[in-house]
Amino acid sequence: MIRWFRFLALVALCPRIATAQDSTAAPRTAPAVTLSLDEALQQARANSPAYRQILNDAGPAKWGVRNAYGSLLPSLNVSSDLGYTGSGQSNFGGGFVFPTSAFLTSGYSLGLQWQLNGRVLTAPAEQKALQRATDEDISGAGVNLRAEIVTQYLTSLQTTAQVAVARQQVVRNADFLTLAKARYQVGQATLLDVRQAEVIKGQSDVGLLRAVQAENEAKLDLLRRMGVEPPVPVDQIALSDSFPVTAPAFELDSLLALADQQNPALRSLRARRTAAFYGVRSAKSEFLPTLSAQAGWSGFTQQYTDENFLINQTLTGAQTQAADCQYNNQVRSALGLGGVITNCFAAAGLNDQGTLLLDPVSQQIRDGNNVFPFDYTGQPFQASLRISLPIFTGFGRSLRLSQARAQEQDADESARARRLQVRSDVHARYLGLQTAYQAIDVQAANREAARDQLRLARDRYRLGAGTSLEVSDAQNAVQRAEGDYVNAVYDYHKAVAALEAAVGRPLR
């Protein structure tokens, strides 16, 4: 009788002893950083590499529209050049060789060009449609990013809840080990029961370690998807948001209608279908005339590096002119025609002996040669207007029109296929959400049944009517039921996130 009362006293102390002896169940370190879902989404939008790559497409799309409108305006081209040609000889054939001097050249040109055809006229509408498609792609990437972060956030919370389940199992097994030892001390159990309880306790300790590892890995995966490094050790990061379970109040018809209007991927394909329509109009316009206009201004300089070459060349020409003048004077004097030039040398720009150019003439030659690089000689203004209409291009226009029509039809079928896919996804995830919500009640009932089973098994074991194996099985059943309940709850929340991703916008 005394041993029996001692046993009852030990049983009453079991929970306290287990809590004091079990180091694994000690309170965890207070978190240094808390992370809410809104903060995670903000960080992901700012740092996610995949999302930022999609954002980079906005710039080219915007400039594509500007370029299309810019094609309606004339293009302006400005160019300038500098050149050098060395000295040498020019051979004109027949043994006639003419020496040349090195010279410098420079020039400029200013040109306006403008072209108007059907492709230019349809380009703005086509590019605006493509820009809308790019904007919808970015919106779709935002929806996918949100679904990814929310799902991983829920997964991290799920692993945290599983850690709590594992800790509860450790406490139960510690209580069971204490109870087995107490029964062994009073002769109500064998050493086999104690060893079995120790093994079960060790297995639960390992399960807790693995649950903590899974929790840390889930948080690391969340930070990776956000595009950031852990600011502190990962075990010091806590997720602050909670997600209450509420009955889904969504209507399938309204969800389908909302997805048909709001889904970014579907809207993107519709915008690309519009762009393909304008592509067909652009291809058709190749059968129409093209109007082109251009205008230009230009100028040049040419400066010889050896001024004496120019002076000698001019001197030779002046001496030839003076000789012709003297010959003409002799002929006119002989025939009595009159009109004789008094001083042929002066008329040709030579001195009285005819051996040198006059100083003003030489200076004029030097001044005229000193033009490099900016004393341009302007060329006449040029302008032209042209209308062209290709008659036969080897069926190239017909080929491009056929290809454009095929692309339009493909875009239309892609949009239709995507709409069917969106409606199918929304319907399937709506049904999955209903199933996930119903599963919570089933798992909650299973959890309560498993807890009752554990209480009965413990009572039977304390009274000596049950075995340690029954208690062990009941504790494992409780752990599975509690883990399944946690999974059911977070599967429900993930089903809501999946439904939001299918619709293309948040629903809560």
Domain endpoint, select from 388, 413, 431 = 388
- pLDDT confidence of residue 28: 57
108 and 45 together in one domain: no
- pLDDT confidence of residue 404: 95
User: What are the structure tokens assigned to 507, written together?
Assistant: 């629903």
Structural domain contains residue 216 = yes
User: What are the structure tokens assigned to 52, written together?
Assistant: 């930022």
- pLDDT confidence of residue 360: 87
Beta strand spans in 136-257 (E): 237-239
373 and 445 together in one domain: no
Using one digit for the tens of pLDDT, what is the confidence trace for 170-204? Answer: 999 999 899 889 888 988 888 888 898 899 999 99
Q: What is the pTM of this model?
A: 0.79
Q: Within the chain, how many helices (H) and strands (E) appear?
A: 13, 9
407 and 480 together in one domain: yes
Reported as a pLDDT band with limits 50, 70 and 90, residue 96 is low
Which range marks the domain in which residue 300 is found? 80-116+292-388
Structural domain contains residue 130 = yes
- Tell me how far apart the alpha carbons of residues 489 and 506 are, in angstroms, rounded to a whole number: 19
On the question of pLDDT at 471 being above 70, the answer is: yes
Using one digit for the tens of pLDDT, what is the confidence trace for 220-262? Answer: 999 999 999 999 999 999 999 999 999 999 999 999 999 999 9
Domain endpoint, select from 353, 388, 423 = 388
Q: At what angle do helices 468-503 and 191-226 cross, to 10 degrees?
A: 10
254 and 267 together in one domain: yes
Closest CA to 175 of 496, 447, 489, 472: 472
Quote the number of domains for the chain: 2
- pLDDT confidence of residue 337: 77
The overall average pLDDT reported for the chain is 88
Q: Strand pairing partners for 76?
A: 112
- Tell me how far apart the alpha carbons of residues 127 and 183 are, in angstroms, rounded to a whole number: 83
CB 397 within 8 A of CB 286: yes
Using one digit for the tens of pLDDT, what is the confidence trace for 446-467? Answer: 999 999 999 999 888 888 888 8
12 and 96 together in one domain: no
**Region for residue 326 given its phi and psi (left: phi exceeds 0; alpha: psi -120 to 50; beta: otherwise):** alpha
Using one digit for the tens of pLDDT, what is the confidence trace for 9-25? Answer: 333 333 333 333 333 33
The DSSP code for 496 is: H
On the question of pLDDT at 98 being above 80, the answer is: no
Using one digit for the tens of pLDDT, what is the confidence trace for 382-392? Answer: 999 999 988 98
- pLDDT confidence of residue 1: 36
Structural domain contains residue 243 = no
Domain endpoint, select from 340, 363, 388 = 388
- pLDDT confidence of residue 70: 94
Q: Please report, for the domain that includes residue 126, its CATH number.
A: 1.20.1600.10
- pLDDT confidence of residue 355: 82
145 and 280 together in one domain: yes
